[in-house]
Amino acid sequence: MTINYDAIGKRVQQIRKHQGLSQLALSEMIERSPGYLSYLETGVRKMSLETLIALANALNTSADSLLVDSIENTIMASNHAFAELLSDCNEYEIQVLIDIATATKQAIRKHTPHVPKGYR
């Protein structure tokens, strides 16, 4: 099993930016230097488990959402990611997103036999 530190770093950066946090602000939250955080976000340095947990806590996200590219059981991680997506939605928005996901799944399954093998 290989841990994809580049992907973890990109996810940290994506979540940090989405939350409007600077590298300086996040680095202060996890008690690391901004330069070290930059190395983590670009995959130059590998992070310890302690740092991964500190990042997940500071970003108010789960460790599996940061590790999704390295986790073999992606169903659990995907379920968590979908639940996180819905967490700030009202009932109407949740129902619309479920309807869209259901229709998309049906369309994918309907058209899969017609997709050339190299594209499945």
pLDDT tens across 78-113, in order? 777 788 888 899 999 999 999 999 999 999 888 877
Residue 62 tokens, joined? 């789960």
**pLDDT of 111:** 80
Under-50 pLDDT residues of the chain: none
Contacts of 88 (CB under 8 A, 6+ apart): none
Q: Can you name the CATH fold of 5-67?
A: 434 Repressor (Amino-terminal Domain) (1.10.260)
Q: Tell which residue, 28, 53, 33, 34, has the closest CA to residue 8.
A: 53
> pTM for this one?
0.64
Phi, psi (rounded to 5 degrees) for 8 = -60, -45
